[in-house]
A = this chain, B = another copy of it.
Amino acid sequence: MSKRLTIGLFGFGVVGQGLHDIISTKDLNIEIRKIVIKDPSKPRTLRESLFSADASDILDDPEINTIVELINDADAAFDITANALKNGKNVVSANKKMIAEHLNELVALQNTHGTSLLYEGAVCGSIPIIRNLEEYYDNELLHSISGIFNGSSNYILSKIANEGLEYGDALKQAQDLGFAETDPLLDVGGYDAKYKLVIAAAHAYGAFVKPEQVLNVGIQNFSGADLHFAKEHNLKIKLVPTAKKLNEQEIALYVLPRLVPKSDFLYNVENEYNAVSVKAAFADQQLFYGKGAGGHPTGSAVLSDIAALRYEYRYEYKKFLNDSKLKLQNDHVIPVYIRYKSDGLIGQLNFDFIAEQHQSVELKYVLGGIKISELISKKDLIEKDGAFIAQAGALTGKFEELTRLQFETA
């Protein structure tokens, strides 16, 4: 039999309201006992006694055994989550920033107090990727995960490439449709994708990495010239977070725009859709595909996590705890396209090799191999130039050097 859940809910936006609707109409053995909101004066559609502005009305209620945390503020979310886990309550959260930044502490709290924190909704909305990485894909056999993790920036790139929209108009549309974070830099700068990548890597490889150690380059400098270059080579540009096993001890993690060939499953992932591509021994590529952005996809994952708590499900973090964990390696060389403005920029970057350099009135670019660490340390320099960087492994002919160096190109 399933355990009866008595829920305290933090936040009552789109996801919270949808959750309430489903839980109250289905026979799930779940009850929402109390909802803590920021603004108690706002009119509500449900009876007033359900609401409170005081977190302790949930955290100190011994009858509430499950916390669903759906607030934006990552620091406040961590306080609530830590407090709840310490007090024997299980937690479901979709706050990727909070989880990515506090993974170590959150695992320790779960282990010390025998409580469970689930967060499928934090990574790629309705796609059950965390569960699959945690349970199904073995460390030893998992070559890489990559994908479209941020619906907002994918929407923008799709609209620019397929409908000729300007960057600003595409961003505005994404915001109007509710796909975008309040601060657009979180999306288009690759931060949102990075938090998700960090969480995914923990479950895929047992690698607990701080977000600030991981390279994230966004699409802010994406220009018509880049689109033209991509189209000329029959490629699309996508913002792709990648976690890749380098050897038995090390992984590379990075978020970078990528030149994607038609043969890649990610090529056809458009607009607000998310997808996770998994490459495993023997299996070729597999794709998990669904809606990533918006309240409903997230709500669906949150609901699945809640349902799992009825059966006492918890992440075991076995790859991390079993000492089979892999370590981050930022000296990995990746093949990149860098389109730049100022002639001085390229001289200031230490490439491992340059495969091609092109200069014309319309376009200046370099194709070369460069260490992730070099991109991290020169990130400000590159952004100031207005340069656009993309992982360019798809241009295989250009990167014979990389093959010689025994790096994979994709």
Contacts and interface: CB of A to CB of B under 8 A. Distances in A.
A142 to B, nearest CB: 10
A147 interface: no
Interface string A259-286: 0000001001000000000001111111
Contacts of A381: none
Interface in A17-44: 18, 22, 26-28
Contacts of A284: 126, 290-291, 296-297
Interface in A61-107: none
A322 B132 contact: no
Interface stretch (A133-141, A169-177, A335-343, A394-402): A133-141
Interface centre among A126, A248, A282 (most CB of B within 10 A): A282
B22 A282 contact: yes
Interface stretch (A299-307, A352-360, A365-373): A299-307
A215 to B, nearest CB: 28
Contact of A2 (B287, B303, B322): B322
Contacts of A283: 126, 290-291, 296-297, 300-301
B303 A281 contact: yes
A108 interface: no
A248 B265 CA distance: 36
A305 to B, nearest CB: 10
A265 B26 CA distance: 28
Given A132-B132, A282-B296, A289-B286, A304 B126 contact: no
Contacts of A286: 126-127, 288-290
Nearest to A26: B140
Given A28-B140, A289-B287, A18 B282 contact: yes
B18 A304 contact: no
A131 interface: yes
A342 B136 CA distance: 51
Interface in A294-353: 296-297, 299-301, 303-304, 307-308, 311, 313, 318, 322
A318 to B, nearest CB: 7
B287 A300 contact: no
